[in-house]
Amino acid sequence: MRLYHGSIVEVRRPSLRFGRRRTDFGKGFYTTTLAEQAEHWAKIKKDRAKAPRAVVSVYEIDDRLLTDAALNIREFHGVDESWLEFVVGCRKRDAEKHDFDLVFGPVANDNVFATVNLYESGVLDAPAAIAQLRAYKTYDQLSFHTPRVIQSLRFLESYEVKE
């Protein structure tokens, strides 16, 4: 399987050191199966950092990794209450670190994040938030959370995203 990571630099050797804690699936190294999604994130990171470049690094993993019974894998097949609760839990300031090696599921883009915030603040209940979230187009993300699985990423190439 091919995976993409958007950044402002080429990432030949992914690391868990640089991940942010309060993200959808917690601190980890985030990838997607969609080049366009990685390009979008690379541009966002470039703008936020006022960096000169937006770069997508491309990796490959063995598909069997996603079904390896020796790994602790959490997979979400769409936006539902379990996904919503997991994302809210991971984004909290005092979030506990989970023990998953890999987490796969929808990404909370800006529109989705606003709805998650409304749910978290109590403005929307879970059914209303999920109904609203399902109206948005979502993309996927596969996040790596342990050294054991991050080593399975084989760097293929990188390319600069042009405006």
- Reading across the β-sheet that carries 140-144, which strands appear in turn? 29-31, 140-144, 102-106, 73-75
The beta strand positions in the chain, using DSSP E, are: 2-7, 29-31, 55-60, 73-75, 102-106, 140-144, 154-160
Give the pLDDT of residue 94: 62
- Which two three-digit tokens encode residue 19? 């991940």
| Global pTM value | 0.88
Give the pLDDT of residue 147: 94
**What tens digit of pLDDT does each residue of 61-79 get?**
999 999 999 999 999 998 8
**What tens digit of pLDDT does each residue of 85-139 get?**
898 888 776 666 789 999 999 886 666 778 888 888 899 999 999 998 888 777 8
DSSP class of 13: S
**What tens digit of pLDDT does each residue of 1-31 get?**
999 999 999 999 999 887 676 677 888 999 9
Q: How many domains does the chain have?
A: 1
Instruction: Print the domain residue range for 124.
Output: 2-160
